[in-house]
Amino acid sequence: MEINTKKLQIAMARKCMNPSDLAVAIGCTSTSIQQILRGARGVQMKKLGLISKALEVDPAELID
């Protein structure tokens, strides 16, 4: 699934999180989050749910 990277960056900024913070919050590597932010990697439903929960946004806000 494709995440809108701009919306993801905005949600991260609202929570004052950098890629490393988000990675720790959802239990993955910061490299994985950086790849998602670059658009080089899609996201499975479970990871989308974890990201949304960590950022306190609706998953629909993050997808294209």
Asked whether residue 64 is assigned to any structural domain, the reply reads no
Number of folded domains in the chain? 1
- Which run of H or of E encompasses 31? helix 30-38
Question: Is 44 buried (19+), middle (13-18) or exposed (0-12) by CB count in 10 A?
Answer: exposed
Asked whether residue 49 is assigned to any structural domain, the reply reads yes
User: Residue 64 — very low, low, confident or very high, per pLDDT cuts 50/70/90?
Assistant: confident
Say whether pLDDT at 1 is over 90. Answer: no
Q: Which domain holds residue 13?
A: 5-57
Asked whether residue 62 is assigned to any structural domain, the reply reads no
Q: For 11-61, how does the pLDDT look when each residue is reduced to its tens digit (9 = 90+)?
A: 999 999 999 999 999 999 999 999 999 999 999 999 999 999 999 999 999
CATH of the domain at 34: 1.10.260.40
